[in-house]
Amino acid sequence: MEVLEIIILIGVTVSVAIALALFVSNITSPYMQTELIDISYVILGNQTISIQVKNKGPKPVSIVAVKADGKYYPQNIVVTPGEAATLRVQVDPIGVLHEIRIVLASGTEYPLLVKL
């Protein structure tokens, strides 16, 4: 009888562990979304920078703003997986290093340094 009790106890323990693991994974999965974007830029002249943001991840990415040298430019762009969006930013002066940040809806900021 002792062996049967041990087998039942192990079975119950494994079942509870599996149920707990599934419960925890369902709670944390919405918070563990990975955004995978590729950012490239081209200097167009006239102090304009054209920035291309390509979504290489599995879920849509929302761009809510572009920050250029501390100035905030609101955006409302959703980039679906495999697609790209182009953003244009005016900066001044020429010959200076400019800090550009792409701000996503998740709060993540992707920095980019550009020298005209």
Q: How far is CA 24 from CA 6, 12, 18, in A?
A: 27, 18, 10
Report which of residues 85 and 1 the model is more confident about: 85
Residue type, 84: A
Cβ 108 vs Cβ 74: under 8 Å = no
Q: List the strands of the sheet with 71-79, edge to edge.
A: 71-79, 61-68, 97-104, 109-115
Give the mean model confidence (pLDDT) for residues 44-70: 90
Q: Convert the pLDDT of each residue in 62-108 to its tens digit.
A: 999 999 988 899 999 999 999 999 999 888 877 788 899 999 998 88
pTM attached to this predicted model: 0.69
Q: Is the pLDDT of residue 33 over 70?
A: no
Q: Convert the pLDDT of each residue in 6-32 to its tens digit.
A: 888 888 888 888 878 877 766 655 555
The beta-strand segments (E) located in 1-116 are: 37-45, 48-55, 61-68, 71-79, 84-90, 97-104, 109-115
